[in-house]
């Protein structure tokens, strides 16, 4: 599926803050979990769209370290959807050539979820069409703190360099996101890729995540394509 006649610059790595599931559901008089179910369907489509557009890395902010503070019933429902995703969707993504990776503190999840994560990563490790990075129990500040603590544990000699910190991040081999998209109309980073997103381009849309589809992704990529990235240069 070409964009702008095939002339657009395609970002190698797109990160998405998938916001607005609950507001989408509330607007329709539905419970929050219905919005999360709709969001999971949108996720499947966007992975396919990104793959078709030629995106090599797609990172998705699925569950933050702060999300545990939500209503326990909602959190329980989210864990159920996570289990469903691991059970029913991994095979399909594998068939599409997608590699799946999970980034975050997995020790907070139940054993069956951790095992499902391990199996999904192992099953898709040799795939190369697109790399899908799902950020769960992830927080950018915590990632940086963990990296510093790893350096301390290894008795890293001062001064600490950027390269040293980067080497201890959760996924140091993944390139920084070129473009970060946030759905739902909010204009903030919400603790997503704080280190990696230092020079990312941002795109904000009022569309709630369940409404975000291939057309919206095209618009975001087209906007990115028109920008001149200077990385602090004049």
Sheet holding 13-17, edge to edge: 98-103, 130-138, 57-64, 13-17, 179-182, 201-204
Residue 49 appears among annotated catalytic residues: no
What 3-state DSSP class applies to 147? helix
Cα–Cα dist 118/4, whole Å = 39
Q: Pick the catalytic residue: 4, 21, 48, 67?
A: 67
Which H or E element spans position 181? strand 179-182
Do residues 210 and 41 touch, judged by C-beta distance below 8 A? yes
CB neighbourhood size of 79 (10 A): 15
Kind and range of the H or E run holding 64: strand 57-64
Residue 105: Cβ-neighbour burial (10 angstroms; 0-12, 13-18, 19+):
middle
| DSSP-H helix ranges across 125-179 | 140-153, 162-167
Helices and strands, counts by H and E, the chain: 8, 6
Identify the sign of the CA torsion 203, 206, 212, 218: negative
- Dihedral sign for Cα 97, 41, 79, 14, please: positive
Catalytically active residues are: 19, 67
């Amino acid at each position: 599926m070409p964009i702008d006649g095939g002339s657009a610059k395609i970002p190698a790595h797109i990160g998405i803050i998938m916001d607005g599931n609950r507001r989408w559901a509330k607007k329709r008089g539905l419970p929050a979990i219905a919005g999360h179910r709709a969001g999971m369907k949108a996720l499947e489509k966007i992975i396919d769209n990104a793959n078709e557009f030629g995106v090599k890395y797609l990172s998705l902010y699925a569950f933050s370290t702060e999300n545990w503070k939500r209503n326990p019933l909602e959190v329980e429902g989210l864990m159920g959807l996570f289990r469903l995703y691991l059970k029913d969707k991994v095979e399909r993504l594998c068939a599409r050539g997608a590699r799946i990776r999970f980034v975050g503190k997995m020790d907070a999840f139940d054993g069956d979820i951790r095992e499902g994560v391990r199996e999904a990563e192992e099953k898709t490790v040799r795939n190369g069409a697109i790399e899908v990075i799902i950020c769960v129990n992830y927080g950018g500040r915590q990632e940086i703190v963990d990296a510093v603590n790893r350096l301390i544990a290894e008795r890293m000699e001062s001064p600490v360099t950027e390269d040293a910190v980067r080497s201890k991040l959760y996924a140091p081999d993944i390139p920084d996101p070129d473009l970060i998209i946030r759905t739902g109309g909010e204009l903030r980073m919400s603790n997503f890729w704080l280190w990696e997103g230092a020079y990312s381009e941002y795109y904000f849309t009022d569309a709630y995540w369940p409404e975000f589809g291939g057309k919206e992704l095209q618009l975001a990529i087209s906007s990115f394509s028109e920008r001149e990235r200077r990385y602090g240069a004049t």
